[in-house]
Each structure stands twice: as structure tokens, then as C-alpha cells.
């Protein structure tokens, strides 16, 4: 969650704009009015971007609760903010979503708003950060995180990283504001976190336990020893209450680890983080799980998001932030939208629905492959050795009535998905299969004749429920072999 957003102007001083205060006043008025319209409410709705830990995913919205607006043209693999908006984090206040990003050529902390997690997002004029504290210099204000007021508090808290004036290291500071739009005024004095012996600290991320205990996660910034740390905070979130604890290091990772985010799902703590270089295609989102907040954390074997996983539709996805509201979870992250030489890149903001298979996160928009041979096979469909197939196996031959394959698949959210069937059909004529969902006939799938060792695919759209579903393929005519099903 670090580094420049790509505009060379941001290397110079960034002066807060007077317009920021005006926007903040308008936002505060809107929040107050919205709050007054909610019966029995004495303060604005304010859900943390990183919610208090829970044993499972958010409870579904009650029947009749309106879902978020999905604007025309939205897709989970398209940026919702195409202008530079790196290291995004999002909160919801009184029905409006606020996003905060790393400095760019216009602001030390750019702010954007939307009526829905998926947009449309609009950049607000001005600067969300009134000024930097006395210890910091301008131009490297990275990875902001805003936490709404806790019970008994009146201020929004901002955590950010900035460069020290007297040392070539980044440190983490805090600021407060009466409005989610800012302008945030820094807490003066020493930085909140600044481990010089570890090369400084970046990428602050808040986590609050159900009992109100506050924590801050961060990355130690020295390249050779980059690690994710957790430190307990004072009740107001503005002081350190205990010694930091190392959660994970960069062992086995491409280059380093950074950009932490912590939630609790499926009875476990789930630590999301990034690895790789933020300015290269190898940047990716990974995760680790633990039975307790301090670990030990076990890293998942494969990335949650990567350039390859997206089929290169998103370049270098990372710096992920979990947003939770009454409609579910969303993953807010950035991807590279422009290269300008060396480490100078522009990164846009993306938002994708996020589901949970216990403690395993599943992101909408990342295609997931399910090998056919791992499904349930009946008597006339069996696993076949095929060296050119994915996993070196396929199933078939679907040459008799009643031949059927059933494959369990996981959908992160309810909705319409595309199922791509990878197959070979060397019978010399087309084959027709029926694609069903949870035992109900869905769409026809035609397997065109193929030649030699060629494999090709056919696609069909289906409606899936959130969670596990069963996709079935049943023979109608002809014969063929199925390599895998891919859910998009």
C-alpha cells in the first residue's frame, strides 16, 4: 500500500486546498440531515471499513432491504476510479461511501464518494488532509486508513504513512476530523509508529475486536526484512498500548510483504496482504489464517489475486481492503492502469464482491477452474488419462443417454455467472450437453467437433446462489470429453 501514484508533480509540496474545508462542511450537513431522518438514531451510521471480528461472513440483508446500486458498465475487473487512486480504503457513513487514497498530483490524501460500493465514484475537490505533522515532509503520504468514531467518541481517525524530515524513513502518523471528508488535522508530537531499526513503517491498517480493543497493523519497510506487525492501541486509537508482534515475514513471497488487512471469518483470523513490486505485474494479493489474532498464521499456497489469475485483465492487483456493510463484503484494491518508466505507475481503484468459504476468501471476477475429474462421475463417464489436458486428465466419453458429470462450484455472491466448459470432441460431429444448476436444467452446451489433440471451450450463462452450487453436465446427443469447468 505504498509509493507514488505516478504523477511527477506529487514529488513537490502538496498544499491543502481551501475547498476541502467547504466540502467537509457540506458533507457534515448531509450526514447530520441523513442521521436525523433515522428514527431513534443519535449519531451518523458509521461502519468501519475493517469490521469488528465475527465468526462468519456478514449476515445477509433482511428481506426488502434495498441492495446497493450497480451503475451501468460496472464489472469487477474494471476500475471504478480510473484516475490515480492507489492504496484505497473505504468506509460507509449515512448511506454514502468514502474512499481515501495515496497522494497524487492534486492532494496529499485524495477523497472520493459514491452511493454504492461499485459506484459511480466521484473525486471530491480539495485535500482530505489539512496538513502534515511537524515531523513529516510532503510528497510521500501513503496508504491512508480512516476509522469512524467509536461509541463515546466524536472524531474520525486517520492513519497514514509519511516521510520523516530528519531521516530517510517512512513513519505512521494519526489525524482526526469531525467529518469523513476531512480536512483531517494531524496529532502533533512523535509519530505513532516509527521503527527506524526496521527501516520505518508504512501501510497502517486498523482492526477492532468485538470488545472494543483496538489494533494497528503495519509493514516494516526495510526490503530485506519486510514483515507484517500488529500492535495494540490505546482506547482512543491515538497511542501505543503494548509491544508490537510480528505476524508474518516475506519468506517464500515474491520480493516482500506489505499492505495488510485483518478480518475474522469462519472462526479464524484472515490476514490479507500484498507481495511483489507495486510497479510490476507480479504484484498480487495473498492471505494467511490463524486461530488467534497474534497467530501463528498459515499462508495460503496460492495468491487470491494476481495478473495471471485475472487473465491479464487487471495488472498487478493488490493493496486490498475489506469493506463490509449490510449487503455483504467487498474487496477494494488497486491495479496498474499506466506505466511511465521505472517505478512510476498510475494505479486505479477497483471494487469486487467478496465471498467466504469458511475462512477462504473468494473474489468475484477472478476465474476459478474446477477439474472435471474431481467431480462426481456416473457409470458411463470416467476419468481418462489425457497428457494435453489440464491436470493431465479429462472425463468422458458422454456416449450414452444418462451420462452425467456433477461438479461443486463456489459462488462468492448470488448472481449471473459464465461457465466455460473446456472440452475435446473427436467424434466428427457436434455434441449437445445440458448444463444444470443444483438439479435444475439451465442452458444447452454445444461441443463443436475438434481435431487431433485440440482442446477448445464453450460458454453458457447461469444463475447461482451465494456459496456452494452443483453444476451438472448431461448428455443429450453425441459424445465428447470434458477437461474442466471455469467459473467467471
Q: Cite the active site residues.
A: 87, 258
Closest C-alpha to 417, from 440, 443, 383? 443
Answer whether the bond into residue 397 is a cis peptide, omega within 30°: yes
Amino acid at each position: 500500500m505504498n509509493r507514488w501514484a505516478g504523477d511527477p508533480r506529487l514529488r513537490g509540496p502538496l498544499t491543502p486546498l481551501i475547498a476541502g474545508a467547504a466540502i467537509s462542511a457540506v458533507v457534515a450537513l448531509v450526514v447530520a440531515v441523513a442521521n436525523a431522518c433515522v428514527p431513534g438514531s443519535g449519531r451518523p451510521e458509521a461502519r468501519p471499513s475493517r469490521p469488528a471480528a465475527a465468526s462468519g461472513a456478514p449476515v445477509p440483508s433482511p428481506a426488502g432491504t434495498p441492495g446497493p446500486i450497480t451503475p451501468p458498465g460496472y464489472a469487477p475487473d474494471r476500475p471504478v476510479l480510473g484516475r490515480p487512486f492507489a492504496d484505497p480504503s473505504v468506509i460507509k457513513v449515512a448511506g454514502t461511501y468514502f474512499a481515501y487514497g495515496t497522494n497524487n498530483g492534486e492532494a496529499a490524501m485524495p477523497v472520493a464518494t459514491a452511493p454504492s460500493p461499485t459506484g459511480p465514484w466521484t473525486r471530491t475537490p480539495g485535500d482530505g488532509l489539512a496538513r502534515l505533522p511537524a515531523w513529516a515532509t510532503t510528497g510521500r503520504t501513503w496508504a491512508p486508513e480512516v476509522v469512524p468514531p467509536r461509541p463515546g467518541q466524536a472524531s474520525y481517525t486517520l492513519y497514514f504513512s509519511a516521510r520523516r524530515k530528519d531521516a530517510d524513513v517512512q513513519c505512521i502518523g494519526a489525524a482526526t476530523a469531525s467529518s469523513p471528508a476531512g480536512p483531517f488535522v494531524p496529532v502533533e508530537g512523535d509519530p505513532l509508529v516509527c521503527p527506524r531499526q526496521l527501516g520505518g513503517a508504512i501501510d497502517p491498517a486498523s482492526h477492532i475486536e468485538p470488545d472494543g480493543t483496538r489494533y494497528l497493523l503495519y509493514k516494516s519497510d526495510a526490503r530485506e526484512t519486510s514483515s507484517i506487525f500488529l500492535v495494540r492501541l490505546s482506547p482512543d486509537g491515538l497511542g501505543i498500548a503494548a509491544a508490537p508482534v510480528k505476524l508474518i515475514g516475506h519468506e517464500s513471497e515474491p520480493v516482500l510483504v506489505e499492505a495488510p488487512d485483518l478480518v475474522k471469518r469462519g472462526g479464524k483470523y484472515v490476514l490479507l496482504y500484498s507481495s511483489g513490486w507495486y510497479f510490476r505485474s507480479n504484484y498480487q494479493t495473498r492471505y494467511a489464517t490463524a486461530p488467534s489474532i497474534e497467530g501463528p498464521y498459515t499462508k495460503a499456497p496460492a495468491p487470491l489475486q494476481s495478473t495471471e489469475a485475472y487473465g491479464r485483465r487487471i495488472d498487478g492487483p493488490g493493496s486490498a481492503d475489506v469493506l463490509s456493510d449490510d449487503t455483504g463484503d467487498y474487496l477494494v484494491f488497486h491495479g496498474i492502469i499506466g506505466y511511465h518508466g521505472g517505478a512510476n505507475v498510475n494505479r486505479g481503484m477497483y471494487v469486487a464482491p467478496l465471498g467466504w468459504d469458511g475462512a477462504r476468501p473468494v473474489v468475484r471476477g477472478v476465474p476459478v477452474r474446477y477439474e472435471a475429474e474431481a467431480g462426481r462421475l456416473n457409470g458411463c463417464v470416467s476419468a481418462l488419462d489425457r497428457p494435453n489436458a489440464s491436470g493431465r486428465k479429462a472425463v468422458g466419453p458422454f456416449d450414452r443417454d444418462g451420462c452425467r458429470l456433477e461438479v461443486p462450484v463456489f459462488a462468492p455472491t448470488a448472481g449471473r455467472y459464465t461457465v466455460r466448459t473446456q472440452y475435446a470432441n473427436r467424434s466428427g460431429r457436434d455434441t449437445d450437453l445440458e448444463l444444470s444448476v443444483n438439479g435444475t436444467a439451465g442452458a444447452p452446451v454445444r461441443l463443436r467437433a475438434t481435431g487431433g489433440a485440440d482442446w477448445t471451450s464453450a460458454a453458457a450463462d447461469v444463475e447461482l446462489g451465494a456459496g456452494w452450487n452443483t453444476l451438472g453436465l448431461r448428455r443429450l446427443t453425441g459424445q465428447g470429453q470434458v477437461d474442466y469447468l471455469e467459473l467467471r
